[in-house]
């Protein structure tokens, strides 16, 4: 296969998970880095597990991430249909060819009968891997409903060279005759995906390592039709910070792309982060643009070890992208969260702009603006233990400095950052202190904390009434010895 054609084939059984997004992304990056074609194929044959809106959700959030496809149900292509439920006649045709060639057979047994026979043969120490073949030798005359089983060849070794893992080997003796078309006429995954991969001319398959055990069954079908087998790359597991496989039940890690979008993460940041889960670009920086990520993708740099979902790295990367936003873009990112938290009641648009600008360098994601607002503007005002300890070291100069700062703020006609800077300087002159002994009491008096955002900007956003009331609380506590 000279043309590079890859596919991401989600089942519409739920929302887009980090692991699935990584699979889609690596297929996309491989295709784009080599000028190939990226196909989105919907594998919807597991009808019982399909959820309403699952297909649309997967596609919406792939696009939100910045992953576009060349062929699919929405953009068309020369190799459709791109939903498996629309391809059932194709699978039936190819299953019939296998039956005609003696490579598959009709099995009339129910699952209960097969299970009972399996248990009996296993108890007797008899090989039960091919027990369904009794229908091949002596088909019942009183039944019309059947599944179609592939007749696994004996004593065959299946080998393939995996891009990530090197040579992988399986023995046919370990695989029983398996169903390729169920009694309801729907092809099973391992059969349908092979037929689709061949007819859609798929050259490479990037997928999670949990699919390795599917590979020998798929190779059997490729060999049965004398089709060329794609090149496989089974990517390593994504693990949490304890080294355990990332599970959808892992409550400590947010795992669905929709959740990150709703929290106010930037798609560029998440795209960048996911691209590093199992791939090490040849770059001094891990913060890369969309085009840089495509151009740096190299299958030789795919990891052979599990990839750790490093939440701190995700936060760092997304923060770098947020810092690149201009003021208007930042407000747009944060606005839904400010509105949902009812923070903007009686606030002007300029105040909202000032709030997000105040925390621009601190934001990890858009929704964090609510937590930062609560920490410095909302709730009951109180000093942290660290702040109390620092103020206790200043003896009587702390109260004197705060009183001077309060007096200077009271004299300002309008609270602006520039005016507040001058007020702090003048308070230092009046109380005869400077440096840390000036700025730290002023910060503590306004915020109750020793660390925080730009103080003049913060005081301006607090407003005169709140700022003076906070200073008064601290002054009285110092004078009272509290």
Nearest to 224 by CA among 148, 137, 169, 164: 148
Question: Is 80 exceeded by the pLDDT of residue 361?
Answer: yes
Q: What is the pLDDT of residue 120?
A: 79
Distance CA 424, CA 271 (A): 44
Could you tell me the domains of the chain?
Answer: 87-235 (3.40.50.620), 385-479 (1.10.10.350)
Angle at 384 between CA 378 and CA 386, to 5 degrees: 150
Distance CA 9, CA 193 (A): 9
In the chain, pLDDT over 70 holds for what percent of residues?
A: 98
Backbone phi, psi, residue 327, to 5°: -60, -40
Distances (CA, A) of 447 to 4, 37, 51: 59, 55, 48
DSSP assignment of 146-205 equals -EEEE-PPSS-EEEEEETTTEEEEEEGGG---EEEE-TTSPBPHHHHHHHHHHHTT--EE
Which residues are paired to 308 by β-bridges? 239
Q: What is the pLDDT of residue 380?
A: 87
Question: Is 70 exceeded by the pLDDT of residue 337?
Answer: yes
Cβ contact 311:253 at 8 Å: yes
Q: How far is CA 364 from the centre of its chain?
A: 16
Structure tokens at 104: 């598959």
Q: Which whole number is the average pLDDT over 237-257?
A: 85
Number of helices (H), then strands (E), belonging to the chain: the values are: 20, 11
Residue 462: band (very low, low, confident or very high) from pLDDT cuts 50, 70, 90: very high
Which is more confident, 131 or 157? 157
Question: Is 80 exceeded by the pLDDT of residue 187?
Answer: yes
Structure tokens at 60: 């919406």
Q: What is the pLDDT of residue 132?
A: 65
List pLDDT tens digits, range 260-307.
999 999 999 999 999 999 999 999 999 999 999 999 999 999 999 999
Cβ contact 128:119 at 8 Å: no
List pLDDT tens digits, range 377-386.
987 899 999 9
Distance CA 148, CA 133 (A): 11
Structure tokens at 387: 């702040």
Nearest to 205 by CA among 175, 173, 228: 228
Q: What is the pLDDT of residue 228?
A: 97
Residue 395: band (very low, low, confident or very high) from pLDDT cuts 50, 70, 90: confident
Structure tokens at 253: 């890690």
Catalytic (active-site) positions: 248
| Dihedral sign from CA coordinates of 242, 246, 247, 253 | positive
Helices (H), 302-435: 311-323, 327-340, 349-358, 368-376, 385-392, 397-411, 417-431
Q: What is the pLDDT of residue 89?
A: 98
Q: What is the pLDDT of residue 343?
A: 96
Residue 482: band (very low, low, confident or very high) from pLDDT cuts 50, 70, 90: very low
The pairing of strands 238-239 and 231-235 is: unpaired
- With both helix axes pointing from N to C terminus, report the angle between 189-199 and 215-224 in degrees, rounded to the nearest 10: 50
Q: Which whole number is the average pLDDT over 317-339?
A: 98
Residue 250 DSSP code = -
Residue 251: band (very low, low, confident or very high) from pLDDT cuts 50, 70, 90: confident
Backbone phi, psi, residue 97, to 5°: -65, -35
Q: Which whole number is the average pLDDT over 179-190?
A: 96
Q: Which whole number is the average pLDDT over 26-46?
A: 97
Question: Is 60 exceeded by the pLDDT of residue 481?
Answer: no
Mean pLDDT check: name the lowest of 79-88, 117-126, 319-328.
Answer: 117-126
In the chain, pLDDT over 90 holds for what percent of residues?
A: 84
The structure tokens 């947020």 sit at 322
Q: Calculate Rg over the CA atoms of the chain.
A: 32
Please give the mean pLDDT across all residues of the chain: 93
Q: What is the pLDDT of residue 115?
A: 77
Angle at 181 between CA 175 and CA 186, to 5 degrees: 135
Backbone phi, psi, residue 367, to 5°: -65, -15
List pLDDT tens digits, range 403-444.
999 999 999 999 999 999 999 999 999 999 999 999 999 999
Which is more confident, 365 or 112? 365
Cβ contact 206:30 at 8 Å: yes
Cβ atoms within 10 A of the Cβ of 67, count?
Answer: 22
SS3 content of the chain, % helix, strand, coil (to 5): 50, 10, 40
Q: What is the pTM of this model?
A: 0.92
Which residues are paired to 256 by β-bridges? 17
Q: Which whole number is the average pLDDT over 41-56?
A: 93
List pLDDT tens digits, range 418-427.
999 999 999 9
Q: Which whole number is the average pLDDT over 239-255?
A: 82
Structure tokens at 231: 């090149």
Distance CA 91, CA 174 (A): 25
Distances (CA, A) of 238 to 20, 65, 229, 426: 11, 19, 26, 56
Distance CA 313, CA 311 (A): 5
3-class SS of residue 329: helix
CB neighbour list of residue 316: distance below 8 Å, 6 or more residues apart? none
Q: What is the pLDDT of residue 384?
A: 95
Structure tokens at 187: 């092809």
| Dihedral sign from CA coordinates of 470, 472, 473, 474 | positive
Question: Is 90 exceeded by the pLDDT of residue 110?
Answer: no
Question: Is 90 exceeded by the pLDDT of residue 116?
Answer: no
Residue 1: band (very low, low, confident or very high) from pLDDT cuts 50, 70, 90: very low
DSSP assignment of 294-328 equals HHH--GGGB-SSPEE--HHHHHHHHHHHHHTS-HH
Question: Is 50 exceeded by the pLDDT of residue 101?
Answer: yes
């Amino acid at each position: 296969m000279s043309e590079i054609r890859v596919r991401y084939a989600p089942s519409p059984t739920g929302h887009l998970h980090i692991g699935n997004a990584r699979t889609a992304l690596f297929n996309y990056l491989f295709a784009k880095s080599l000028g190939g074609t990226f196909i989105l194929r919907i594998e919807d044959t597991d009808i019982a597990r399909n959820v309403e809106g699952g297909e649309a959700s997967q596609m919406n959030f792939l696009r939100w991430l910045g992953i576009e496809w060349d062929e699919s149900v929405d953009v068309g292509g020369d190799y459709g249909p791109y939903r498996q439920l629309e391809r059932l006649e194709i699978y039936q045709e190819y299953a019939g060819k296998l039956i005609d060639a003696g490579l598959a057979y009709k099995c009339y047994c129910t699952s209960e009968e097969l299970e009972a026979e399996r248990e009996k043969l296993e108890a007797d120490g008899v090989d039960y891997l091919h027990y369904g073949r009794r229908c091949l030798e002596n088909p019942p005359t009183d039944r019309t409903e059947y599944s179609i089983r592939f007749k696994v060849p004996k004593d065959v070794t299946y080998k393939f060279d995996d891009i990530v893992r090197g040579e992988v080997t399986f023995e046919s003796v370990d695989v029983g005759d398996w169903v390729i078309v169920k009694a309801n006429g729907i092809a099973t995954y391992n059969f349908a995906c092979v037929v689709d991969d061949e007819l859609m001319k798929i050259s490479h398959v990037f997928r999670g390592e949990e699919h390795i055990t599917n590979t020998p069954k798929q190779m059997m079908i490729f060999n049965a039709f004398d089709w060329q087998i794609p090149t496989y790359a089974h990517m390593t597991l994504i693990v949490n910070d304890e080294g355990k496989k990332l599970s959808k039940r892992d409550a400590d890690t947010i795992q669905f792309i929709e959740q990150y979008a709703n929290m106010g993460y930037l798609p560029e940041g998440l795209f960048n982060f996911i691209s590093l889960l199992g791939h090490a670009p040849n770059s001094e920086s891990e913060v890369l643009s969309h085009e840089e990520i495509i151009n740096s993708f190299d299958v030789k740099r795919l990891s052979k070890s599990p990839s750790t979902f490093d939440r701190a790295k995700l936060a760092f990367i997304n923060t770098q992208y947020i810092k690149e936003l201009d003021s208007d873009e930042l407000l747009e990112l944060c606005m839904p969260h400010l509105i949902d938290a009812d923070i903007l009641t009686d606030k002007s648009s300029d105040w909202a702009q000032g709030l997000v600008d105040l925390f621009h360098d601190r934001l990890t994601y858009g929704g964090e603006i609510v937590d930062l607002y609560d920490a410095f503007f909302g709730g009951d005002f109180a000093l942290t233990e660290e702040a109390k300890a620092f103020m206790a070291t200043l003896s009587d100069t702390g109260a004197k400095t705060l009183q001077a700062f309060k007096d200077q703020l009271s004299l300002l006609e309008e609270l602006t950052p520039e005016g507040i800077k001058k007020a702090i300087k003048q308070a230092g002159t009046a109380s005869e202190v400077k440096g840390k002994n000036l700025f730290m009491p002023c910060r503590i008096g306004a915020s109750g904390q020793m660390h925080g955002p730009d103080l003049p900007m913060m005081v301006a956003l607090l407003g005169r009434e709140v700022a003076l009331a906070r200073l008064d609380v601290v002054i009285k506590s110092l004078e009272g010895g509290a």
